[in-house]
Amino acid sequence: MESIIKILIVDNDETFLKITNDWFREQGFAVMTARSGEEALTILDHHLADVVLMDVAMSPMSGIEVFEKIKANPKTSAIPVFMISNVGEAEYISRARDLGAAGYFVKSNFSLKDLSEKIDRILHMGQ
Amino acid sequence: MDIFIAVFFLVLFAAAAVLFVFWKDRRLAAALAVRETEIKNQADKKIEEYKLSIEHGGEETSRRMYELAILKELGERIGYSLDIQNIVDIITGSLHQFIKYSAVSYILLGGEKLIFKVHLEKSVSRPFVDEVRDRMLKSLSALLDREFKKNQVEELLSGAIILEDMEVPVNSFFNIPLIIGEKVVGVLTVADSETGLYKEEEMTILYKITAQASQAVTRLQEVVEREQRKVNSMVESMTEGVIMTDQDYRILVVNPAAKRTLGLVEKNEITVFDIIDALDGKFDIRGKLEESVKLGKTLTAEDIVILDRFYQIFVAPVRSNTGIGGEEVLGGVVIFHDVTHEKELQRLREDFISMMVHELRSPLSNVMKVLELLGEGTLKPGDKDYGEMTQMVSANTRGMLELVNDLLDAAKLEAGKFEIHRQPANIKEIIQDKIRFYELAAKEAKLTLRSVLADNLPGGVSLDPIRIEQVLNNFLSNSLKFTKPGGTITVQAFPHTRGQNLDQEAGQAHVEWLLHGDDKSIQNLPNSLIIAVTDTGVGITEESLPQLFNKFKQFQSRTMRAEQKGTGLGLAIAKGIVEAHGGVVGVASEEGAGSTFYFTLPLQ
């Protein structure tokens, strides 16, 4: 039996955090949540995550900026990061892709099931 | 680019090219017809004169006919030229056919230098040429009452060679001023070493020739100036900023719109440096002009911000289109097209989309996911989060429904199809209902909510109770959002009698608000009900006050949206409702002290 997968969810939308928290817990993940990019980086400093789910539209530090920091840190650079957003702007998507995001989801376009399937696939691919 | 704008600029560049041709090339198709008729008329007139003289049978007939032929030839050769030097060259080139001279010469006033051109029919000595020059300078000085010196002269020599041993003095000399449009532009001279050559005969013919040339040029110049004035006034009255330069990037034209754009309205003599300063590094006008001329094409720069406005800037080379000797670059033109309004609309659209994303798409996707949790059995009745989640779904859907209603109301307002359904209603009851409705929310926010209602409030006022409630809802929910714990929100109402002092009436009703009776929007009211919601909230900055009731304007204030979720449509709709009742709506505020939102309902 493989160890429990640790997921870090970063979003300033409390409701979304709550929903995804409930969902991934039920799916057997160990869930950590952060309400801002700064909080996410602090958490990652102490607890390594196996996968990160991160909102793009946050302030003051945007999801993209946080992602860049995660990639720049050798300790965290290998963690697959999924970007999520309410907007499907092409420039964000291509930027996230260029930076090596594991995926980009527009919140209204995917179900929780899709999301966990995709995460499963990526994690098993790496093994 | 919009096709209309493209065509517009094409026309503009064409006009600019024509303008340049007027200035620089001095050849003008429009003036040709005038010139042609003129030559023909003059020739016809002369032919008539000489026919008469032939009839008189004078012995000079053949000579005169010869003169006439020369004059006609001259007229044709001068053609349509506006270049004075060119015309004088033609005259001096033909003069030897009927006047005898060693040297024909002219001096023309140029820019800094005087052009002194000498054509020698016979070889003369250097002192001969110098003497001619000095005598011409002397007469020019006398004509213009201005001192001209030798060192100002640029000499051009042609014809026979100078021989130093030909030491003959100037014995015959005739000097004639060259006048264009009543202005002396130079002198023309014939000189010979022989004595007593120039008598009345020769003088007359010279006068005739120069007068004819001068007249023709003067007329032609008038036509050119008239056309030039037309183009000038077009450029002057244009709403687009236009700057034109010559090929050395010296400024030829800066129209009023360009001066406004650059903040140079007060300045008279505008140089390229003034313009570079005004552009403050935002647009490299010199570099772009050079590039445009070099590449021979129009360059476009988008979204250049000058003095808080957005511009699209076009830079184009201006070429001569005379068809003579190919195209010649005469300079450049820079056009400033103000796109601030388009920019604002674009921003409004973007803000609107962003609002839709936050207020509709985000709650909808959350609702969808809660339903998925329920469907998958992840969330079940009795779970810790169950109550909170279902409440969230209901709050989100209510919010979205309100948004859709607001958007529909705004669309109705926009289309002018906003209807109200009047019925007699008791305003006192409506207000008290609202107070009860918001009591709990106020308590939770640790706010005092109270009403101050005048004793003499009329009952049975004709109004649309649902819509008026909507206005009160809007005012009250705004106040709840922007008032800190410990604050007070007061709903106040009192009647106003036409012509009475509103301040006094408010005082009598014990109304405390931030409004002053001298506020223009509440002057000259008919008999009305005045209803106001006053809070002790954060207040509103003076610059955002006028925009509060504008549709969609609140999208623009991003900081406000961060604090206050919503569409910003509420106040615009409130305004629409009150105006449909024939009343006025307004706000008075002191930053940090609070705000009063009020509306009036005319009593019938």
Residue B559: C-alpha distances to residues A32, B58, B189, B207, B543 (Å): 30, 101, 81, 82, 14
Lowest average pLDDT, out of B46-55, B83-92, B448-457, goes to: B46-55
Neighbours of A110 (CB within 10 A): 17
Q: What percent of chain B has pLDDT over 90?
A: 34
User: Which residues from chain B sit within 8 angstroms of residue A113, using beta carbons?
Assistant: 372, 376
CA-nearest residue to A24 within chain B is: B378
Taking CB atoms and an 8 Å limit, are A15 and B358 in contact across chains? no
Contact between chains at B361 and A86 (C-beta distance less than 8 A): yes
Mean pLDDT of B488-510: 91
The pLDDT of residue B83 is above 80? no
Could you tell me which residues are beta bridge partners of residue B337? B312
Judge contact between A55 and A10, C-beta under 8 A. yes
Q: Which residue of B has its CA nearest to A16?
A: B366
Residue B312 pairs in a beta bridge with B337
Residue B4 pLDDT grade (very low, low, confident, very high; cuts 50, 70, 90):
low
∠ CA(B478), CA(B481), CA(B486), 5° rounding?
Answer: 120
Lowest mean pLDDT among B332-346, B348-362, B557-571: B557-571
* Confidence grade of residue B566 (pLDDT, cut at 50, 70, 90): low
**Residue located via tokens 């033609």:** B90
| A16 vs B354, B357, B366: nearest CB | B366
Contact A16 B369 (CB under 8 A): yes
Contact yes or no for B372 and A112 at CB 8 A: yes
- Nearest 5°: the CA angle B395, B401, B402 is 90
CB contact under 8 A, B368 and A13: no
**Distance between CA atoms of B47 and A118, rounded to whole angstroms?**
103
Q: Which residue among B354, B364, B373 sits closest to A23, beta carbon to beta carbon?
A: B373
**Closest partner CB to B372 (pick from A86, A107, A111):** A111
Q: Do A16 and B370 touch (CB under 8 A)?
A: no
CB B270 within 8 A of CB B264: yes
Tell me: pLDDT of B16 over 80.
no
Nearest CA in chain B to A85: B362
Contact B484, B448 (CB under 8 A): no
- The question of ipTM being above 0.90 is answered as no
Contacts of A86 in chain B (CB under 8 A): 357-358, 361-362, 365
Q: What pTM was computed for the model?
A: 0.55
Count Cβ neighbours within 10 Å for each residue of B61-74 and write b for 16 or more, e otherwise.
eeebeebeebbbeb
B243-251: average pLDDT = 88
Cα separation of B212 and B461, whole Å? 91
**Closest chain B residue to the Cα of A28, Cα to Cα:** B378
Cis bond leading into B127, ω under 30°?
no
Q: Which of B360, B365, B386, B396 to mutate to test the interface with A (most CBs of A within 10 A)?
A: B365
pLDDT for B88 = 83
Cα B175 to Cα B190: distance, rounded to the nearest angstrom: 7
Q: Which of B69-73, B91-95, B128-132 has the lowest mean pLDDT?
A: B69-73
C-alpha B258/C-alpha A40 separation (Å) is 52
| CB atoms near residue B332 (< 10 Å) | 26
Which residues of chain A lie closer than 8 angstroms to B558, CB-CB?
none
Per DSSP bridges, beta strands A103-106 and A81-85 are parallel
Other Cβ atoms less than 10 A from the Cβ of A91: the count is: 7
Instruction: Give the tens place of pLDDT for each residue, B161-204.
Output: 888 887 788 888 988 888 877 888 899 999 998 888 888 887 88
pLDDT at B30 over 50: no
CA dihedral B46, B47, B50, B51 (to 10 degrees): -150
Q: What are phi and psi of B264, to 5 degrees?
A: -115, 25
Instruction: Specify the pLDDT at position B385.
Output: 85
The answer to whether A16 contacts B392, with C-beta atoms less than 8 Å apart, is no
Predicted pLDDT at B209: 80
Task: Determine whether the interchain pair B378/A23 forms a contact, defined as Cβ–Cβ distance below 8 Å.
Answer: yes
Burial environment of residue B368 by CB neighbours within 10 A (0 to 12, 13 to 18, 19 or more): middle
Least CB–CB distance from A19: residue in B358, B362, B369: B369
pLDDT at B356: 82
Which residue has better confidence, B303 or B19? B303
Residues A19-71: tens digit of each pLDDT: 999 999 999 999 999 999 999 999 999 988 999 999 988 888 989 999 999 99
Asked if A108 has any chain B CB less than 8 Å from its own CB, the reply is yes
| pLDDT score recorded for residue B519 | 73
Interface residues of chain B, partner chain A, Cβ below 8 Å: 354, 357-358, 361-362, 364-366, 368-370, 372-373, 376, 378-379, 385, 388-389, 392, 396
Q: How far is CA B569 from CA B346, B413, B575, B599, in A?
A: 18, 11, 10, 17
**pLDDT tens across B62-79, in order?**
666 666 666 666 666 665
Residue pair A110/A91 in contact by the 8 Å Cβ criterion: no
Across A83-87, A109-113, B70-74, least confident range: B70-74
Highest mean pLDDT among A1-5, B18-22, B295-299: B295-299
